[in-house]
Amino acid sequence: MKKIVTGLLIILCFVLILSSYNSPVIITEPLQPDTSSEDTGSMLNPNPVLPDSNDSRQEKPDPAHQIPDVPVLYGVGSYIAGDNIPAGLYVAVSDGSGESKVTIRESKTADIDTPEIIVTSRFVPTTGRFTDRPNYVEAIRRSGGIPVFPDDDPELASILRKGTTEYAEYADILAERYDGLLLTGGGDIAAHFFNQEHHPAANPPDEILDEAELALCRAFIMAGKPVLGICRGMQILNVATGGGLIQDIPDILGIPLNVHYGESARHDINVRPGTWLHSLLGPNVETNSLHHQSVNGVSPGFTVVAYTGPVIEAMERGNLLGTQFHPERMLDEGMEPFFEEFIYRCSFNYIAIELFTTFTIINIRENQYIDVDGAYLQSIESSSGMFDPAFDANGFYAEGMYLAGTHIPEGIYKLSAYGDAMFSSYIIYDALSHDSIRKSGSLTKSDTHVILGRGQYIKLINAVMTPR
């Protein structure tokens, strides 16, 4: 109930501010084919049409090179940065119609018709073969991708068979060659990879596979290509980016093993609104469950997407997604769109999708393609007054992303979990890039204080912020 009230208050403040502001120009016309151009290779109209045909402002100004006298909001539609929307920083605000989403692509259409996706597997020396992965292979194939198994590529087979001692460079080669990485389920990861001692309940690890999958994961992340980690794969994704693991759920969390482990074990997961998984599956989903380990928190920049009690069931950061459950075993139970979305992302050289419920800050670069759904965009330089965040009725800033010195004062802030949120966290960026994370942390167990300097960004996830 608190979350609903908070959302309504934010939308009400937004409407009141708009009503007292100069009437904004709202650009809502999606890009249309430009049939007047002799260049048949350019099919996008560089001049978006303003909504009121009698408005004297409709002289098709070039928004990339002019600062309008009235606020310009870019509404639902498609745009090209530097052509009909300026490149730069934007505040993205929900228009109140439902779930809001901004998609950023490097090209208008998919670069790859049928992306090739690596499917990892464990090599078994006693048989001389890689473990079969029919469900994963079928999920990729049914969703429009080409699964690449170790048997299909000698260099992939070599790094998975012998690790990185001999073949460290193969990870970068494979990340350049293929369009996405699917890290599959399997056994426990060696504890020293995440700076812990081996737990007695942990199974003996396959360190060659651990080394290979960690190297592949990091290489694909550096190449800016999508990674999907399932079960053990999500744990590899977390460890590869600096996170840790709970080595035995029954011992450390006190949850009976049969709740999370078993061929027939199933339970509901809670999915957070404004996330990739929520847009595909909704708020509550029954999933399978076959694990005795889980992610211990998430590494910097990741958001907890779904959970069951204290157990993290899914996490995401841009094009990186991990699930503790096995969607490849539930293709006929509504999970096929999950893999279709992954294949869609692998079809582009670069694609970022920002899902949000209130507002966030987005960096748009020259020549990128922008799709806006259920939201308004406004240049951050001209948004002062219109999109200044308002205090919640309880006297705090709600979940969202803020720029210190522009939309909130620089200074000291207290960060707290929102209500009874199971997982709350924050991220502070020096710039809008995952390479510029200054600090991040969990707020679930206790409050913390941070100092925000001018030009720093802070993202609150299931959290609130109070000036001190």
Active site residues: 231, 326, 328
> What is the sign of the dihedral through the CA atoms of 329, 335, 338 and 340?
positive
Distance CA 347, CA 112 (A): 5
Distance of alpha carbon 453 from alpha carbon 405, whole angstroms: 7
Q: How far is CA 152 from the centre of its chain?
A: 30
Structure tokens at 304: 């907890």
Q: What is the DSSP letter of 82?
A: T
**d(Cα 174, Cα 181) in Å, to the nearest integer?**
10
Q: Which two tokens stand for residue 69?
A: 């006298």
Could you tell me the two tokens for 199?
């737990």
Do 440 and 426 meet the contact criterion of CB atoms below 8 Å apart? yes
DSSP symbol at 24:
P
Tokens for 281, please give them: 């599956």
CA pair distance 236, 188, nearest whole angstrom? 10
Structure tokens at 292: 């005795």
Task: Give the count of alpha carbons within 13 A of 119, CB side only.
Answer: 23
**Rounded to whole angstroms, how far apart are CA atoms 30 and 15?**
24
**CB neighbour class for 128 (10 Å; exposed up to 12, middle 13-18, buried from 19):** exposed
CA separation for the pair 408, 388 (Å, rounded): 8
Query: If you count DSSP H runs as helices and E runs as strands, how many of each does the chain have, helices first?
Result: 11, 29
> How far is it, in rounded angstroms, from Cα 15 to Cα 238?
40
Classify each residue of 42-68 as buried b or exposed e, where b means 16 or more C-beta atoms within 10 Å of its C-beta.
eebbbebbbeeeeeeeeeeeebbeeee
Question: What are 276's two structure tokens?
Answer: 């990739």
Q: Any alpha helices (H) in 328-394, and if so which ranges?
A: 336-346
